[in-house]
Structure 1
Amino acid sequence: MIMRLLPLLLALLVTACQQPLPPGMAARGNLLLERSAPARGVDQRIRFLVIHYTAGDFPTALATLTEEHVSAHYLIPAAPPQRGGKPVVWQLVPEQARAWHAGASGWGDRTNLNDTSIGIELENPGFRRTLLGRRWYPFPPAQIAALTELAGQIVQRYQIAPQNVVGHADIAPQRKQDPGPCFPWRALAAAGIGAWPDPARVSTWLQGRPPGEPVAQARLLALLAAYGYPVREGMDDAAQRQVIAAFQMHFRPADYRGLPDAESEAIARALLAQYPPGR
């Protein structure tokens, strides 16, 4: 009987000898971590949310995004399947890990946004070429509903500033044009995700000028650079127009020819007033 009880008695003795850890201390393997003096010099690694489209169908995108050379944190189908009444989205990379979705990019004083962003890919063909020019594909409501839920959680979790919710074209205007002019930025902003200019502010800055009235290209580019767009010294006229076109595609998709006009300038000034740099 004593021999049978011996293991139990030993276990009780070991348990009795173990002292509870004091507040602020945690065990990790054979180490004890003292956490009672946290540093104040720290900030969140995730600063940006970048929206993309796949320019192809879901199976092709899933295969591409799970290979070695490109990735994204999330992929949302055009028609998300439902399970238990909830839409299913694909998480391909943990949020804490770095995904390869942004490439050469810049926003504000940051470059290489892969290091500081979460990337979401939306299944969408992008556009088709016609005799009348490009025809862009819309985003289905069910897909945008799933995106709104996911993006809203991410923005809240990392306290991402509205002006830091961007498209791939915003951060890489010389290479990319996604998510394109059909993407519903205004609807997302109304849901608390991203920025959108207040119409009254735009009207005030327009100062009665015709929307298409030409303005100084350099002045408009300075405003876009202050907002975050990657404007660099030595850019030729075509590259400058690409930056303007990316801005217009995001905030004025009815006309994104890249021409510097009064309405674009008014929108930029309204955005800077609503979302001051560095806030």
Structure 2
Amino acid sequence: MTARRGPLPRPPAARNRGRSVLALVPNEGGLAITELPSPNQDERPPGLPIDTLILHYTDMETGAAAIARLRDPEARVSSHYVVEEDGQVFRLVPEERRAFHAGLSSWRGNEMLNGRSIGIEVVNPGHSCGYRPFPALQMAALADLCLGILSRHPIPARNVVAHSDVAPDRKRDPGELFDWRGLASLGVGLWPEGVEGGDLSVVPGGMARAAELMRRIGYPVDPARPDVALVAFQRHWRQEEWGGRPDAGTLARLEAVAALAGAG
């Protein structure tokens, strides 16, 4: 275990269309991490950079149950870290090793991302067990953890992604209640500040344009079902409405995120 945790985060300070925007404060005194090794790991493929950070939710009733599964050799799943709702952080797999967290996945043309990514499981019951907002203390600890990871590896902001971003046909985590905007305000990932997303107006040819922009950002887009990737995009960057419709608000956010992603 490392140094003691520093100051607690400030409480939520603002609201955006009914969703909280957390005023997150990184812990100045260092992040305490408890080692709970998982057998579900192996060597990373040689020559691959660690250039992607993938955030998940546990989708189980308790954090203890999730950790038990992530350490079960028969389950063959793991993550590098788990962040509990009270801010406790557990390391299951060293960063230099490959954890089994992303499965079939793709981002910016790279496939099977376990070999080049770090995975963090954020404890939440998920859509299967009673999805709920992520506590401020948990998000503050997660921000600290992510900032440390980003300081150690060449991970660009555009490669800080959701599990649902890299596997939109299979996954929906960490979901539409996750505070991506708050993390981005601290330097973890991208957020298109000042771009309104509430316009529900129909846009002729909107889906074709949406698919083009999603590919530019990095999404694996199925030509037969581009709406599947669009739901994933909306859960991340357009949380006001995430039904898979390419309306004007969605396209505005897509254009903005594509521009940010293109800038690195």
TM-score, with structure 1 as normaliser: 0.72
Alpha-carbon deviation of 1:143?
A: 0.7
Letter in 1 for 2:68: A
Displacement over 4 Å in runs of 4+: none
For residues 175 and 136 of structure 2, the distance between their equivalents in structure 1, rounded to whole angstroms, comes to 16
Q: Which amino acid aligns with 1:197?
A: P
Instruction: Assess if the C-alpha contact under 8 Å between 2:164 and 2:170 holds in 1.
Output: yes
Bigger radius of gyration, 1 or 2?
1
Kindly indicate whether residue 262 of structure 2 is the aligned counterpart of residue 265 of structure 1: no
Matched, 1:226 2:224: no
Q: Deviations over 1:6-32 (max 9, x none)?
A: xxxxxxxxxxxxxxxxxxxxxxxxxxx
- 3-state DSSP of counterpart to 1:55: coil
In the other structure, the counterpart of 2:203 is 214
For residues 78 and 185 of structure 2, what CA distance do their matches in structure 1 show? 29
Question: Does 1:184 find its partner at 2:179?
Answer: yes
- The residue aligned with 1:174 is 169
**Which secondary structure does the structure 2 equivalent of 1:223 belong to?**
helix
Which ranges of structure 2 fall in alignment gaps of 5 or more residues?
A: 1-45
Could you tell me which residue of structure 2 aligns to residue 61 of structure 1?
A: 66
CA contact (8 A) 2:124 2:131 kept: no
Give the AA of the match of 1:183: F
Higher helix share: 1
Match of residue 79 from structure 2: 72
Superposition deviation, residue 210 in structure 1: 4.5
Query: In the alignment, residue 213 of structure 2 is paired with which amino acid?
Result: L
174-183 or 239-248, which moves further after superposition?
239-248
1:76 alignment partner AA: V
State the alpha-carbon separation in 1 of the partners of residues 235 and 161 from structure 2.
12
**DSSP 3-state at the match of 2:246:** coil
- 1:265 CA displacement: 1.3
Cα root mean square deviation, aligned: 2.1
Alignment of 1:40-119 (within 5 A): 45-56=49-60, 57-68=62-73, 69-80=76-87, 88-119=88-119
Q: 1:253 aligns with which of 234, 239, 261?
A: 239
Report the residue type matching 2:182 in the other structure: A
Deviation at 1:248, TM superposition (A): 0.5
In structure 1, the gaps of 5 or more residues are: 1-41, 81-87, 130-134
- How many residue pairs match? The answer is 215
CA gap 1:212/1:136 in 2 versus in 1, 3 angstroms: farther
Question: How far did residue 155 of structure 1 move?
Answer: 1.2
What corresponds to 1:12 in structure 2?
none
Identity %: 40
- Counterpart-to-counterpart distance in 2, 1:51 and 1:117: 10
Give the TM-score taking structure 2 as reference length: 0.76
Instruction: Supply the AA of the counterpart residue of 2:100.
Output: W
Shift in Å, 1:218: 1.5
Q: Does 1:276 align with 2:256?
A: no
- The separation in 2 between residues aligned to 1:146 and 1:159, in whole angstroms, is 21
